[in-house]
Amino acid sequence: MAGGARRSFTLIYRDVRIGRVDSTREDFPNLLATLTSDLTSDHPDIRHRVNDYIQFWIEADRLARDSPHSLDEFLQSVEPTFSDLINSTEWFLLDHQNVRLPIHAPTLSPDGRMTWRWRNHAR
């Protein structure tokens, strides 16, 4: 995102459209954005799993603010249950030219903020 220009993408996981991503800024190596979820009901198993993953990050964010002493225990006990999503190479941002840009699994917060890093230095 040269010069802080805003860009819009579609968040994709395993060929399922998860939502619209409006990038807001870069804090190298992280990029920050807002995520607006896609409310369609196709692929319910994948959507349910991704929603659980989003809720996991929302709870981690809450604990980081409200109960930092509980965060490590929460991450150690719950994060491994999402290793399939965290380690997946099937996360992408789809740009306006329908080019798939690979990313690492994003993290999310209660206010709809999403943070990600490019995988393989995609841009």
Q: pLDDT tens track of the chain, all 123 residues? A: 444 567 899 999 999 999 999 987 888 888 999 999 888 889 999 999 999 999 999 999 999 999 999 999 999 999 999 999 999 999 999 999 999 999 999 999 888 899 999 997 655
Are 74 and 61 in contact by the 8 Å Cβ rule? The answer is: no
Are 9 and 94 in contact by the 8 Å Cβ rule? The answer is: yes
Its pTM stands at 0.86
Residue-level pLDDT at 1: 46
**In a 3-state reduction of DSSP, which class is residue 59?**
helix
Q: Please state the domain extents for the chain.
A: 2-116
